[in-house]
Structure 1
Amino acid sequence: HWEGDLVIGARGASAIITLVERATRYVMLGALPESRVSEQVIDTLTALMRRLPAELRKTLTWDQGIEMIQHPVFTLATDCKVYFCDPHSPWQRGSNENTNGLLRQYFPRSSTDFRTWTQDDLDAVARELNGRPRQTLDWQNPAEVLHKHLVATAT
Structure 2
Amino acid sequence: MAYTHLTMKELGWIETYYEIGLKTYKIAKKLGRSNQPIYNVINFLKEGRNVSEYYNRYKQNKTRCGAKKKTFTKKQTEYIKGRVTDGWTPDVIIGRREKELGCSMSTLYRRFKDSALFDVVTLPMQGKRKPNGHKETRGKQGDKRTLDDRKTAYPSFKNEFGHLEGDTIIGKNHKSAVITFAERVSKLIIALETPGRKAEDIEITLQNWFNNLPRNIFKSITFDCGKEFSNWKNLSNQQDISIFFADPGCPSQRGLNEHSNGLLRKDGLPKQMDFNGVSQEFITSVATRRNKIPRKSLNYKTPLEVFLENVSGLNYF
Match of 2:262 among 81, 101, 113: 101
Runs (4+) of structure 1 moved beyond 6 Å?
none
Structure 2: distance between partners of 1:125 and 1:48: 18
Q: Greater strand share, 1 or 2?
A: 1
SS of the equivalent of 1:126 reads helix
Match of 1:113 among 254, 257, 274: 274
Structure 2: distance between partners of 1:57 and 1:47: 15
* 1:1-155 equivalence runs, <5 A: 1-33=163-195, 35-105=196-266, 106-109=268-271, 111-154=272-315
SS of the equivalent of 2:313 reads helix
Give the Å deviation of 1:136. 1.7
Q: Scaled by the length of structure 1, what TM-score is found? A: 0.91
Greater relative contact order structure (CA < 8 Å, 6+ sep):
1
CA RMSD, 1 decimal? 1.6
Q: Which runs of 5+ in 1 are unaligned?
A: none
Structure 1: distance between partners of 2:194 and 2:229: 14
Structure 2: distance between partners of 1:64 and 1:20: 17
Q: Which has the larger radius of gyration?
A: 2
Percent identity, aligned pairs only, is 34
Give the Å deviation of 1:41. 0.2
Structure 2: distance between partners of 1:52 and 1:130: 19
Structure 1: distance between partners of 2:288 and 2:238: 26
The answer to whether the Cα contact below 8 Å between 2:224 and 2:246 also exists between their aligned partners in 1 is yes
Structure 1: distance between partners of 2:289 and 2:212: 18
Q: Scaled by the length of structure 2, what TM-score is found? A: 0.46
Structure 1: distance between partners of 2:165 and 2:250: 13
SS of the equivalent of 1:73 reads helix
Aligned length: 153
